[in-house]
Chain A
Amino acid sequence: MMRRRKALALLLCSVMTVGLLAGCGGKSGGSGGGDKVTLRMIESLTSPKRTELIQAAIDRFQDANPNIKVELISPPFDQADNKIRTMLGSKEELDVLEVRDLTVAEFVNNGYVEPLNAYADKWKDYATVSAVSKSVGTVGDKLYFVPNGLYERQMFYRADWFKEAGLNPPTTWEELYDTAKKLTDPAKNRFGFSFRGGAGSNGTTDAMILAYNGDKVNTEDSMFTKDGATIYSTSEAKAAMELYLKIYKEASPPDSINWGFQEQVQAFTSGVTAILLQDPDVIQSLQEKMQEGTWATAPLTTGPTGKALFAAGGAGWGIASKSKHKDEAWKLVEFLSSPTENTKFSKDYGLIPIHTSATEDEFFKSGPYKTLIDMSNKPDTYVNYKPPFQYPGTGQWGQTTMETGQALLLGKATLDDTLKKWDAYWVDQKNKLKK
């Protein structure tokens, strides 16, 4: 009796041990059973609505390709890139992944993503992919991801408040400050500018410093001037930042030093702030939460020399270099990037489509998107630059500017010291890249 019980216990233990070990092994060999291939795909810019749209597109892909099954992983936005890094670093099975302009250099550096040129050359719709989209997905001379839409900043403003005060949308940063100041009335809890001092604050500081440096900026290597110094080392940068401080102190909610994307947009939609600089993906929530006619769009504000530098940002689909099903993975990427699918996704989510053929669509020629098209029609004023995505430090730049920028806004650091820090950061990046 005793012996039998012992044997049973032993058996149970061994079963558990085996089970445990099997659990550690993770999923492998998902492609068993006939010719059906399972692709594992992960997204980065997750939001519930977006996941729904992507899943719907995947369903259409699966209907068209019954022998391919796609498993979509949707980590929460905040942790998504880290999750992707960890999965790639630990060689977990992954076929298609969402690469961002911010992460592409780092992924290429670590050998995580596959160049797509060989596939794209055979793709019939590649010809209509816009040059900007191609450049966003390219590092060096190789394409590493096909963007699923582009983000470009523009101005959103409270048309009703402007009308009431007899103001026109500002065209320069100086005007933006004046206008915003006129609309600021803390007693009524109204402020001119939806400032963002928290995560993503470099969107404003960099835009201002670039606009002030104007023609001096090397648009191919945009953190540097044509002379090779960083854009933060110039007297223009200092002028820009002095205005930046004034905009925060005199025309923005004091609380906004800690605001990120959500608070910035929320303050605009709930009637606290009058001017918001944002990407087209906010259009949907503005349309939902605000009455028609209370808001409108305008082009970006320019620097003293009449130039505004802007960049198209984006994320898109790439293929993991360790993928065992690269051909099938490309099939999926090609499907998602086709003019039909991409235009649909761009319309539904609020992005600029990647195919030049799509911008002919009436949808993008009217309403809030029109400003963006107008801007791209004036390349002398609105100069396109390539963001410094080739530097692996780009991903950390946001965090660095946020912290040092907050210290500056709080008066804990001087402007000169802050600019010196920013200058040193990019000098260091340059040196590392040269190695």
Chain B
Amino acid sequence: MRKQTAFILSGLLPALLLVLVFTYYPFFQGIVMAFQEYKLFDLRSVHFVGLDNFTAAFSDPKFLTALQNSAYWVFCSLILQFLFGLTLALLLKKQFRGRGVYQGLVFYSWALSGFLIGMIWKWMFNSQIGVVNDMLLRVGLIHERIGFLSDPKWAMISVIVANVWYGVAFFAIMLLAALQSVPSELYEAAEMDGANGPRKLWNVTLPYIMPTIIATTLLRAIWIFNDPSIIYGLTNGGPAGSTHILSSLMLDRIIYAGDYGAASAIGLIMIVILLLYTIFFLTATKSEKVGDF
């Protein structure tokens, strides 16, 4: 028996070690650093400072803006990505010529890196030499160039537009797969009962793919919340910190300030937020299931 345990343990060892070294060690180290003054510029004076990093974060207007932006960023991106993704999936469900090619083109954005997307959109949004302004001017929709990335009114909207463009493909892929699994008998039965198009969508399709919708939105919300790459590439939080979300602010603390203590504190706050979110979401969806089935 004991031999058995030893055998099992030794079998698990490589995987365990990998996870320990590359996931849990940095994770716990991060928690420790959140309570330390840990600046890359001055590694000789690393010491514990209690809750200083947290109080500093909450009294920093930049952090509060980022907190607010994070909510805005996740909510708008998620809703729009989902709606566009669902529409796209419904359209792609029908057979038409060249569907494969079209599908490939539509899903392409998902294969790009967020940072690259940020760089591409940065040039497109440029108010003097960018293609977006140029097109809008030519079409006659605007008469003056808009500083999409330089005007704080527009900057947050612009980064969300880029993010929506990026994430629509994810929902389209996942929802299309789910749509294709809806048995056609259900539609036939619904038609017999005299259901029209919207009725079928509302009463057959959506309930059937609801588990996929729940799982994908839950996942995607966490990803959007955690992903700083588009913002980092596009505005780097500017102008004047007005487009930072928590994850990009954390990155900013590391890259420009070399302040691992402050960054870890933000990271820890993010973990708490995500934990609360997950608990909330799981309870909410549980009751949903009870109601449905």
Name A residues whose Cβ lies closer than 8 Å to a Cβ of B.
Answer: 6, 9-10, 13-14, 16-17, 20-21, 24, 78-79, 82, 85-86, 89, 106, 109-110, 186, 189, 191, 197-199, 253-258, 263, 266-267, 270, 272, 392-393, 395-396, 399, 402-404, 406-407, 409-410, 412
Contacts and interface: CB of A to CB of B under 8 A. Distances in A.
A263 B21 CA distance: 41
B158 to A, nearest CB: 11
A393 B259 CA distance: 12
* 7 A-B pairs closest in CB distance: A255-B127, A406-B240, A407-B240, A16-B14, A399-B256, A257-B150, A255-B147
A427 B259 CA distance: 21
Nearest to A86: B40
A186 B13 CA distance: 66
Nearest to B125: A255
A89 B256 contact: no
A266 B7 CA distance: 63
Given A254-B127, A255-B127, A392 B41 contact: yes
Given A10-B7, A14-B10, A86-B40, 10 more contacts: A9-B11, A10-B10, A82-B255, A106-B41, A186-B145, A257-B147, A258-B150, A399-B257, A402-B238, A406-B239
A255 B41 contact: no
A92 to B, nearest CB: 15
A263 B126 contact: yes
Contact of B128 (A255, A399, A412): A255
A412 B151 CA distance: 12
The main secondary structure of chain A at its interface with chain B is helix
B32 to A, nearest CB: 16
8 contacts: A14-B10, A189-B128, A189-B145, A198-B236, A258-B150, A392-B42, A403-B62, A403-B240
Given A110-B44, A254-B151, A13 B14 contact: yes
A272 B128 contact: yes
Contact of A267 (B128, B144, B152): B128
Contact of B238 (A17, A20, A258, A392): A258
B147 A110 contact: no
B257 A13 contact: no
A21 B236 CA distance: 37
Contacts of A186: 144-145
B128 A396 contact: no
Nearest to A257: B150
Contacts of B101: none
Given A10-B7, A406-B240, A410-B240, A255 B150 contact: yes
